Structure 1
């Protein structure tokens, strides 16, 4: 199973409102790579949570390292992510993996046609 093996939105303590907003976090898959890769993972997670790819990319653009990322690198990462999540979704087609595979595929399509 691949559940929990990538970034997820987890509750974070909120201000005095008592609400718990979500924030991206990951206790797994620690690797070396371009700093903007985290924002790329978040685009997929935001898509899986219901955001359109364009909206998720606008959010990611607020991350300094993402603003300077090479467009062709981001598109290549979107393609690779779509492939990985498609493979995971086909091997374990539960609602969670299907949402992530769908979001990654939508993001890659958005990057190609943008």
Structure 2
């Protein structure tokens, strides 16, 4: 009933006229499904993720796609990352031979000095 007058009245006003709490209106709504992921977009995200050694998160991936002409916000990218089960590697120092992993309480010397 309220959906029929949505354009003419606000939800608040329609609920007050009918004597229904707004929370009841929102509780009865059917949940919407997230939009399906385009297969081409999924392949691009996976390729970028792999190209950057699993180091890019939502912000980095959305920036890289923006450079390529695909505009996806970081919040949507965060949802896509969860949907695609992509994990971000957090310890890149251990992966690279050029970098030394630092820990507190130990002294490190550089051999090149």
Is the TM value for this pair above 0.5?
Answer: no
Judging by fraction of residues, say which structure has more helix.
1
TM-score, with structure 2 as normaliser: 0.31
- Which has the greater radius of gyration? 2
TM-score, with structure 1 as normaliser: 0.31
Structure showing greater relative contact order (alpha-carbon pairs closer than 8 Å, 6 or more residues apart): 1
Judging by fraction of residues, say which structure has more strand.
1
